[in-house]
Structure 1
Amino acid sequence: MMLKDNRFIAPLRSVFHWLLPQSCFLCGADSENAVCALCLQELMWTKNACTRCGTVLSLDEHICGQCLRRPPPYQHLQSVFAYTYPTTKLIQAAKFQRNFAVLHLLGQLMAQQLVVENRPDVLIPVPLHPHRLRSRGHNQSVELAKRISRQLHIPYDDSACIRRKNTPPQTRLSARLRRENIKDAFDVLYCKPSWQRVSLIDDVVTTGSTVKELAQVLLNAGVKQVDVWCCAKA
């Protein structure tokens, strides 16, 4: 009998992925990792970006004009990749297809490439609303935070912040509607006194509306500085 319920199919796919011989997710070649060395070379690493918001800049700039005029509430944003193919395919698989091998590889690459000059006291993954978490089965930002935490020996906390509004997906909204959509979406349940510097973990930052909103909520709760570490910047 064929299984048509995604609640059963998605976990089975995850199990089968670990039981079957490993092959490159992108090209299908034999590989010890989720993505082979040749395909890794096709990924577009972020270079020459605004240190404040992550926007790509020319070689002689460090901060974009927008951040000079109206800086975001977070202090720095680092993205490891540009949101272009094949990174887009990897993130979609990690986010919607429960491909944890790809997801863990992305977290590993983030930990290797992030420049950590002033270590944060804690990593906080951007939370999902409980309804969306139940539908998807996992929070990709939490999984990224776990991998980064393990490699960089920085604690993470995925219960201090909650998403109290089940907002529509941001993907197809304009920048203005994204800001309105995400307003008052987050709450801080607790904020430890030792958390003076926090790094938010997210998979993709587009307009930055989500991380701006969460960063401001944390600053209002007493955090002194918030940074953003994301896998890709669109």
Structure 2
Amino acid sequence: MYQAFLNWFLPQSCFLCGTENEQAICASCLQALARTEQACLRCGAHLTTPHQVCGHCLRHPPPYQRLQAAFAYTYPTTKLIQAAKFHNNLAVLHFLGQWMARCMLLNNPPDVLIPIPLHPQRLRTRGYNQAVELAKQVSFLTKIPYDDVACIRHKNTSPQTRLSAHLRRENLKDAFSVLYTRPQWQRVCLIDDVVTTGSTVKELAHELRRAGIKQVDVWCCAKA
């Protein structure tokens, strides 16, 4: 409990290198976090050619309009997200949320941020939803409101990390429900920590589109 208190309220050193620092991550280590310089505007996948949209998205457009990621899901970003997600390091989690807000392009801001919900059982086990904590930081810095109760996860899905892309889609089928939308919500932005195959955000984006939302975007901390 004492260590959790220090991680949450009183970070005294950089989580990665240990140097004395007021922030959870020092400026030098922040520079080491890889960013995807050339990525598909639709799904965020790395591109090796100067096209704006990858071939897969041209053939099979996802239900969301655009995905933006603050970092690539490589070391040491992987270490930060693991600490934030599974080891109660909310100082690191909040720091990542603040950098998400700084990295996102806001020329056409969404009307609301919706963090990817956790199943109640997993929320009780973990104690917090990392996507909600990220959304709080992004909302605070961008002044875009967030809503963490409009959507629910009523299917306690198996962990996605060891599943194939096909099994991930099957695992998440009918996992989410939209309880309500607001008339002013024309554009919704989903918030998540990591997007790999995109199965999770696709499933919730489908539900939001069925509920009448005209456009769904995705902002995540890292894209694999």
Q: TM-score, normalised by structure 1?
A: 0.93
Q: Which runs of 5+ in 2 are unaligned?
A: none
Question: Does residue 1:186 correspond to 2:176, yes or no?
Answer: yes
Q: 2:214 aligns with which of 201, 204, 224?
A: 224
Write out aligned runs for 1:87-106 (5 A).
Answer: 87-106=77-96
Q: Residue deviations 1:168-221, cap 9 Å, x none? A: 010000000000000100001111111110000000000000000000000000
**In 2, Cα distance between the equivalents of 1:40 and 1:124?**
26
Q: Secondary structure at the match of 2:96?
A: helix
Residue 78 of structure 1: which of 47, 68, 91 is its match? 68
Give the SS at the match of 1:124. strand
Who is 2:149 aligned against?
A: 159
Indicate the SS of the match to 2:188: strand
Query: What is residue 214 of structure 1 aligned with on the other side?
Result: 204
Deviations 1:115-151 (A, max 9, x none): 1121100000000000000000100000000000000
Which residue in 2 is equivalent to 1:128? 118
Does residue 174 in structure 1 map to residue 147 in structure 2?
A: no
One of 185, 195, 214 as aligned partner of 1:205: 195
Q: What is the one-letter code of the residue matched to 1:140?
A: Q
Q: 2:193 is paired with a residue of what secondary structure?
A: strand
Instruction: Supply the distance in 2 between the matched residues of 1:19 and 1:102 (Cα, whole angstroms).
Output: 11
Displacement of 1:16 after TM fit?
A: 2.9
Question: 1:10-89 to 2 correspondence within 5 Å?
Answer: 11-18=1-8, 22-89=12-79
Alignment partners' CA distance in 1, 2:11 and 2:160:
36
Query: Alignment length, in residue pairs?
Result: 224
Amino acid at match of 2:28: L
1:42 CA displacement: 0.7
The AA in structure 2 aligned to 1:104 is: H
Q: Secondary structure at the match of 2:218?
A: strand
Report the RMSD for the aligned CA atoms in angstroms. Answer: 1.1
Q: Contact 2:190–2:217 (CA<8 Å) still a contact in 1? A: yes
Aligned to 1:8: none
Q: What is the distance in 1 between the residues matched to 2:183 and 2:212?
A: 8
Q: Point out the structure with max Rg over C-alpha.
A: 1
Give the match for residue 134 of structure 2: 144
